[in-house]
């Protein structure tokens, strides 16, 4: 069974400050993903993420964005988490800003695991109670523990 906790680390969780823009957030999360030894080529992976984002915004509603890509430059799944107490314009499908940004990177051959992780992250963040718990968190350790349970 695929567990989100297997693919996150404290070092890949960040709180964004007021005034951050979508581009800065995606670039920062890409940088965090690239700190993993599971990333072969940071710039090519970054290009893959932006290509996916230009197809359609990964802002899915409820204040959630899940920028993601399957890439030949990723050896195994890596997740980076960004939380912003201030809402951020993300060109979301529902037209509303986001506060929760979860970047998921996977290898091109990890279709099943990739979809399972996407589904689990979306399921957790659809819960208003979980979103409130995340938003009220004061530390990256708190965020880590919330995601460590899924």
CATH fold, domain 4-147, is Mannitol-specific EII; Chain A (3.40.930)
Distance CA 48, CA 73 (A): 9
| Tens-digit pLDDT profile for residues 60-114 | 999 999 999 999 999 999 999 999 999 999 999 999 999 999 999 999 999 999 9
For residue 56, what are its two tokens?
Answer: 């359609």
Smallest Cα–Cα separation from 120: which of 149, 91, 80?
149
Q: What six digits make up the tokens of 81?
A: 């988490």
pLDDT 10s digits, 114-140:
999 988 888 889 899 999 999 999 999
pLDDT (tens digit per residue) in 3-38: 888 999 999 999 998 889 999 999 999 999 999 999
What is the reported pTM?
0.94
Half-sphere exposure of 139 (CA within 13 A, CB side): 4
Q: For residue range 40-51, list pLDDT tens digits in order.
A: 999 999 999 999
Average confidence (pLDDT) over 54-61? 92
């Amino acid at each position: 069974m695929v567990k989100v906790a297997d693919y996150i680390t404290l070092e890949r969780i960040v709180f964004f400050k007021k005034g951050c823009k979508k581009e800065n957030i995606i670039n920062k999360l890409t940088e965090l993903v690239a700190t993993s030894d599971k990333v072969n080529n940071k710039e090519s992976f970054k290009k893959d993420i932006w290509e996916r984002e230009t197809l359609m915004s990964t802002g899915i509603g409820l204040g959630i964005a899940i920028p993601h890509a399957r890439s030949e430059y990723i050896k195994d799944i890596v997740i980076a988490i960004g939380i912003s107490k201030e809402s951020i314009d993300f060109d979301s499908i529902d037209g509303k800003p986001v506060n929760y940004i979860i970047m998921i990177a996977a290898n091109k051959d990890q279709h099943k695991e990739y979809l399972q992780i996407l589904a689990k992250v979306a399921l957790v963040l659809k819960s208003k109670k979980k979103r409130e718990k995340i938003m009220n968190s004061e530390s990256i350790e708190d965020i880590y523990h919330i995601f460590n349970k899924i």
